[in-house]
Amino acid sequence: MSDPWPSRPDLAGVADPAGASEPGRIRRVAGVFAAQPAGAPEWRICTAATALLDAAGVGLSLAASGDLLDSGLQSVCATEGARAGEALQFDLGEGPSYAAHLTGWPVQVPDLETDGTWPTFAEAAATLGLRAIFAFPLRSGSVGLGALTLYQRVAGELTSDQYADALVVARFALNLFTSLQAGRPVDELDEVFTDSLTNSVEVHQASGVVSVQLDISVAAALAVLRAHAFAHDASLPEIATQVIEHRLRLGPLDA
């Protein structure tokens, strides 16, 4: 496997109260990653992050294209404690992971019950037993691939150590995904990208169908699909599949 640190970032501004240096932090993250059972690299990152950051769940999500209105973020891995939260963000098209990816800055929500940024998401997440979420962008300069997201079942801030380690894990993930794609033709994607983004492709296709049926933009059609899925307590991929297979036709009232 290629070196996941092809262009190591400058993390000198990330303070460690215990006094660990940047190289020491990187070595610790790489060591925990190397200690994970053999398997897909994205899963090894998620399990390593869960252990290293003491999180109830960890998810890694990638953008299927450069336009979130078209594709959204799609999880490429999610540990048990993160699956429901990752699916909820994809279904609603909003949440900390989306904000981190769009802005390029970490998003910290230490208490979902008191945060009013995404009322619908926060209420639904609370019913899943989630209380705090922390999202870190997979970004280098203007290049953004997605987000690393930590889920907790108790409210509370990350410690300075957890925050600094999460930044390093996010950079590790970004460089690993970049190295997987390095040297490949532009039209040839690594399987981590192609195998895990099926839901986004189906949603994009369904958005196109609804766009034609209702004579609205693709972005508006995606909003209709998400609203219908939420109103009927169904996942966005389920509704998209029904539309593609002509088992569901959305009318003007659904908009």
**Tens of pLDDT along 111-128?**
999 999 999 999 999 999
Judge if 91 and 40 occupy the same domain.
Answer: yes
Q: What number of other Cβ atoms are within 10 A of residue 244's Cβ? A: 15
What's this model's pTM, rounded to 2 decimal places? 0.74
**If you average pLDDT over residues 70-74, what whole number do you get?**
68
Is residue 152 predicted with pLDDT exceeding 80?
yes
**Whether 184 and 249 share a structural domain:** no
Whole-number pLDDT of residue 187: 47
Residue 224 sits in the same domain as residue 150: no
107 strand-pairing partners: 135
Same domain, 170 and 212: no
Q: Which residues contact 130 (CB under 8 A, 6 or more apart)?
A: 84, 85, 112, 151, 152, 153
Q: Are residues 89 and 115 in the same domain?
A: yes
Residues facing residue 57 across a β-bridge: 151
CB distance 173 to 146 below 8 Å: no
How far apart, in Å, are the Cα atoms of 125 and each of 49, 53, 75, 106, 236?
Answer: 21, 21, 17, 19, 16
- Considering only CA atoms, give the Rg of the chain: 19
The residue with greater pLDDT, 228 or 71, is 228
- The mean pLDDT of 36-57, rounded to a whole number, is 91
pLDDT at 123: 92
Measured CA to CA, the distance from residue 22 to residue 168 in angstroms comes to 9
- Please provide the average confidence, as pLDDT, over all residues in the chain: 79
Residue that finishes a domain, picked among 144, 174, 190: 190
Q: Are residues 109 and 63 in the same domain?
A: yes
So what's the pLDDT on residue 185? 53
Overall domain count for the chain: 2
Average pLDDT over residues 131-140: 94
Higher pLDDT, 253 or 8: 253
Domain containing residue 229:
197-254
Of 190, 219, 246, which one is at a domain's C-terminal end? Answer: 190
For 156, the token pair is 């509370």
Domain co-membership, 43 together with 163: yes
Same domain, 159 and 67: yes
Domain assignment present for residue 6? The answer is no
Judgement on whether residues 232 and 179 belong to the same structural domain of the protein: no
Confidence bin at 232 (pLDDT 50/70/90): confident
Least confident of 3-7, 171-175, 201-205, 240-244: 3-7
pLDDT at position 192: 52
In a domain, 13, yes or no: no
Residue 4 lies in a domain: no
d(CA 148, CA 160) in angstroms, rounded, equals: 17
Q: What is the pLDDT of residue 184?
A: 54
Q: Is residue 162 located within the same domain as residue 203?
A: no
pLDDT of 146 strictly over 50 = yes
List b or e across 26-58, with b for residues whose CB sees 16 or more CB atoms inside 10 angstroms. beebbebbeebeeeebbbbbbbbbbebbebbbb
Band (247; pLDDT cuts 50, 70, 90): confident
Among 175, 190, 205, the domain boundary falls at 190
Would you mind telling me the total number of residues written for the chain in this entry?
A: 255
Distance CA(53)–CA(171), nearest Å, equals 15
Does 151 lie in the same domain as 78?
A: yes
